[in-house]
């Protein structure tokens, strides 16, 4: 039995925008227990995200990818060097569809982010995670990420970083 390799292809906004939005909304459901945190009380979150992802794909397509396996999209990554400090890469999203989680594929997503941001000369990576998302925290720690107080947010998210 051969295992289909993962491919990381820039998000095709014209074709797969709705899927990108659905993945992002699901990530908020997983992280916050409620996708309305993503959508916003006024419903503008979807439009804001649409503008955000269109801009990000145009500026740094290699960091805003859909994860493909055997001809289907199974996940999404959003990462970019910080504007104010390009030696730091920021990861907005690691996402795998539910039917592809806990199968070792997250390691490949993490490796892809390291590869992409290393080529951009980033020396460390940062992300935020909800403290209640213990599965994600355990995954990050097992992949060399460490908690940092420098990145704690007002909304209670925990900052984590990984040195390259």
pTM of the model: 0.90
CA 122 to chain centre: 17
> Could you report the per-residue pLDDT of 64-112, keeping only the tens digit for each?
999 999 999 999 999 999 999 999 999 999 999 999 999 999 999 999 9
Of 64, 27, 63, 60, the residue nearest 45 (C-alpha): 27
Neighbour-count burial of 7, counting CB atoms closer than 10 A to its CB (0-12 exposed, 13-18 middle, 19+ buried) = middle
Higher-confidence position of 54 and 30: 54
**CATH fold of the domain at 6-163:** Aminopeptidase (3.40.630)
Quick check: 143 pLDDT over 60? yes
114 token code pair: 């390291």
Helical (H) or strand (E) element with 65: strand 64-69
Quick check: 3 pLDDT over 70? no
48 token code pair: 């804001």
Torsion angle, alpha carbons of 137, 123, 82, 62, to 10: -80
Each domain of the chain, given as residue ranges in start order, spans 6-163
Strands 88-96 and 124-129: parallel
Q: What is the CA radius of gyration of the chain?
A: 15
């Amino acid at each position: 039995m051969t295992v289909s390799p993962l491919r990381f292809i820039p998000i095709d906004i014209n074709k797969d925008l709705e899927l990108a939005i659905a993945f992002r909304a699901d990530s908020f459901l997983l992280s916050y227990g409620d996708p309305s945190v993503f959508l916003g009380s006024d419903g503008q979150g979807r439009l804001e995200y649409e503008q955000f992802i269109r801009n990000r794909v145009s500026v740094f397509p290699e960091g805003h990818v859909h994860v493909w396996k055997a001809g289907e999209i199974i996940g999404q990554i959003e990462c970019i060097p910080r504007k104010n400090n390009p030696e730091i890469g920021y990861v907005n999203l690691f996402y795998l569809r539910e039917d592809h989680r806990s199968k070792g594929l997250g390691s490949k997503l993490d490796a892809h982010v390291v590869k992409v941001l290393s080529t951009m000369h980033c020396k460390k990576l940062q992300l935020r995670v909800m403290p209640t998302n213990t599965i994600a925290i355990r995954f990050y720690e097992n992949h060399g990420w460490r908690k940092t107080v420098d990145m704690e947010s007002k909304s209670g998210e925990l900052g984590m970083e990984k040195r390259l």
